Amino acid sequence: MKKNLSFLIILFSVIIFAQQGNIRKVVAIGFLNVENLMDTIRSADYIDGTKSISNPAFHRSIPFDSIKFLTVEKYDGQWNDTLLKGKKVVKYQISSEEFTPNSSKNYNTQIYKTKLANEAKVISELGSQYTKTAPAIVGLIEIENRQVIEDLIKEPALAKYDYGIIHYNSYDYRGIDVALIYQKRRFTITNSLKKELKIFNENGKREYTRDILVVTGFLDNEKVAFFMNHWPSRRGGEAISLPKRNAAALLLKQQMDSVRTADPSTKLFAMGDFNDDPVSSSLKNHLKAVGKLKDLNESTPYLNLMYPLYKKGVASLAYRDVPNLFDQIIVSKNLISAHLTKEYSVYRTEVYAPAYLINKEGNYKGYPFRSWNGDQFTGGYSDHFPAFVILQKEP
């Protein structure tokens, strides 16, 4: 038993502010690391770089069988942006072959369908104990391509909510991306884009990772912006890899500051798997996300809603018995109000960990009930607990 994992506390939550009276109108915004939501087809990135590699005319995931019909050049994970400018290329994804029927995982249609149903169930429940419905906005982490999201939102648990999709292919070496789904009746998009994170290893070679997804629009007629993140991992060690996450933090801050400067009334939500805790240098010193209300001001306008949970010992994952709260939601200070008003403000923030999402036996008892144990499909959900925030306002 992993007695130090405080996330055994189910649905541990924090009330950000003391509220008076009844909650009149509420909405849930959340996200989930879906732990390698891949289709069963071996695929690669097809990139038309005739415009530029940084801003390609065309970039999508294609089946391997389609490559033979294309006039392209093939590159491995060390391909060079400058050399590829003006060319049509195929970039291989290292995880693509792993999730196929012929791999050691025996990843077949039945497993894929089970995986879809599992993730749809979790998504549909985020915040529902407060809203009595599915979340209006959901961020997705570790999805392979748009098709798996199309399949996901058609699942019975989600289909009735009529979710739309915002997704861009990234250059991530594993072939995984971030995305956003939204209830069309509640959220209207005004703009979306991806911001490419360029990082390099100790030898000066580019490492390809996930983009930051930026989406602006109107949530129930209020101007909002979402920033979906999946920052570089701690592969090689926390200290060695930290500069990569610092770079991600600076890019995120640049994007958030830009939106906020253009229109200070826009309400900002940065969320995702940051691969760092709320007290890590990347979040504290580079993004400058504060953990306490008293520290909010014009120079530090972003509040990390997970800081109080972190201080209480809540975690969203664990690795080798070390708990972490990598899954976080950070908001702009105009979402903070001590009173119920006619505009949305933060009411509650939670790491969602009902009993069925927790591993009940074995060496990983108390951990998130993940989908894979090596090459064996467990029937589980994810190696991360999801998180959500509840907003409230007067009707």
Cα distance between residue 91 and residue 73, in whole Å: 9
Quote the pLDDT of residue 394: 94
**Poorest-confidence range of 62-71, 218-227, 327-336, 369-378?**
62-71
- The angle that helices 146-153 and 109-125 make with each other, rounded to 10 degrees, is 60
Q: DSSP assignment of 248-265, as one string?
A: HHHHHHHHHHHHHHH-TT
Q: Where are the alpha helices (DSSP H) in 176-232?
A: none
Report the distance separating Cα 166 and Cα 211, nearest Å: 13
Query: Is 3's pLDDT higher than 60?
Result: no
Looking at residue 358, what DSSP letter applies? B
Of 31, 122, 120, residue with least CA distance to 349: 31
Kindly state the helix (H) or strand (E) to which residue 206 belongs, with its residue range: strand 206-207
pLDDT band (50, 70, 90) for residue 83: low
CA-to-CA distance for 345 and 335, rounded, in angstroms? 5
251, pLDDT greater than 70: yes
Whole-number Cα distances in Å, 255 to 88, 117, 212, 315? 29, 34, 9, 27
Per-residue pLDDT tens digits for 292-330: 999 999 999 999 999 999 999 999 999 878 899 999 999
CATH for 6-39+101-393 is 3.60.10.10
Handedness of CA 147, 139, 283, 235 (dihedral sign): negative
CATH 3.60.10.10 domain locations along the chain: 6-39+101-393
Contact between residue 33 and residue 141 where contact means Cβ atoms under 8 Å apart: yes
Please report the pLDDT score of residue 79 as a whole number: 62
Q: Does an H or E element contain 111, and which?
A: helix 109-125
- Model pLDDT for residues 19-42, shown as the tens digit of each residue: 444 657 999 999 999 999 999 999
How far is the C-alpha of 385 from the C-alpha of 379, rounded, in Å? 16
Per DSSP (E only), the strands in 43-129 are: 43-48, 58-63, 73-75, 88-92
The percentage of residues in the chain with a pLDDT greater than 90, rounded to a whole number, is 74
Query: Measured between alpha carbons, how far is 6 from 355 in angstroms, rounded to an integer?
Result: 14
Measured CA to CA, the distance from residue 44 to residue 172 in angstroms comes to: 11
Percent with pLDDT over 70 in the chain: 92
Give the per-residue pLDDT at 96: 81
User: What are 188's two structure tokens?
Assistant: 């209207």
201 pLDDT band, cuts 50/70/90, is confident
The larger pLDDT score, comparing residue 239 to residue 64, is at: 239
String of DSSP letters for 263-306? -TT-EEEEEEE-SS-TTSHIIIIIS-EESSGGG-SSSS-EEETT
